Amino acid sequence: MHKSAHEAMRLNFEKFFDKTKHKHVVDIGSRAVSGHTMTHRSIVEQYDLSYLGLDVVSGPNVDVVMQEAYRLPLKTESADIMFCGQVFEHVPYFWVTFLEMARVLRPGGIIFLTAPSRGHRHSPPTDCWRFYPDGMLALAKFSDLELLHAHTDFPKKTEDGKKLDYTTITDYRYWGDTIGVFQKTSAYKKWSITVLRELMIRWANKRSDLKPGVKPQKNHE
């Protein structure tokens, strides 16, 4: 992952993480892709935590390979902390994955999620989405989780205050990272949401391969 997303995740983890107890951490989409060395594992290795990295393909920093794109091979309420960084833009039906993350999260547990708000099409075969704080709020409402924090690294406004000045963006801030921090509270409706989640998992797994698709024109990539 890129430096700005890693730093955003680290800062929010240190802000919301309860350091008094041992925690079990699960990282969704943990694979370190070619050319990238930063992982969420490096954020937690100094603490009393256990870390498990999941991805749909094997590779560096992956402990468990998922057999189904939209079903996490983990027990219900088995994770205290869940990371998902720079992943959801590549997941066609990310809301289904998020329902699974909510299932795996223990009561009181926290999800840390980062995703870009801008930037070029990258990491084939799919790059479907970009995210704003309202997207994080929608995920929280949809999954019965509480949104503790949401922020997007927008550029500053133009002098007249009417538009965002994208000419001021540095290489470091290129992706305009959006971060959401979610907590599982007593508002989570465990039994009623199960039926919805299972139907959506089956639906999404049958449609997980988007090929064949329409390739974007080169000048639009």
Strands 79-85 and 64-65: unpaired
Residue 214 lies in a domain: no
194 vs 62: CA distance, rounded Å: 28
> Which of 193, 43, 57 lies closest to 112 in space, CA to CA?
43
Helices (H), ranges, 72-214: 94-104, 133-143, 190-205
Which amino acid, 81?
I
pTM beyond 0.75? yes
Q: Is residue 218 in some structural domain?
A: no
Q: Residue 15: inside a domain, yes or no?
A: yes
Per-residue pLDDT tens listing for the chain (221 residues)? 889 999 999 999 999 998 888 999 999 999 988 777 889 999 999 999 999 999 999 999 999 999 999 999 999 999 999 999 999 999 999 999 999 999 999 999 999 999 999 999 988 788 999 999 999 999 999 999 999 999 999 999 999 989 999 999 999 999 999 999 999 999 999 988 999 999 999 999 999 888 755 566 666 55
Total count of domains within the chain: 1
Q: Which domain holds residue 68?
A: 3-209
Residue 198 lies in a domain: yes
Q: Is residue 99 part of a domain?
A: yes
Closest CA to 181 of 2, 12, 7, 10: 12
Asked if residue 215 belongs to a domain, the reply is: no
Inside any domain, residue 113: yes
| DSSP one-letter string for 19-62 | TTS-EEEEEET----TT----THHHHTTSSEEEEEEESS--TT-
Asked if the structure places residue 14 within a domain, the reply is yes
Q: Amino acid identity, residue 69? A: A
CATH number at residue 190: 3.40.50.150
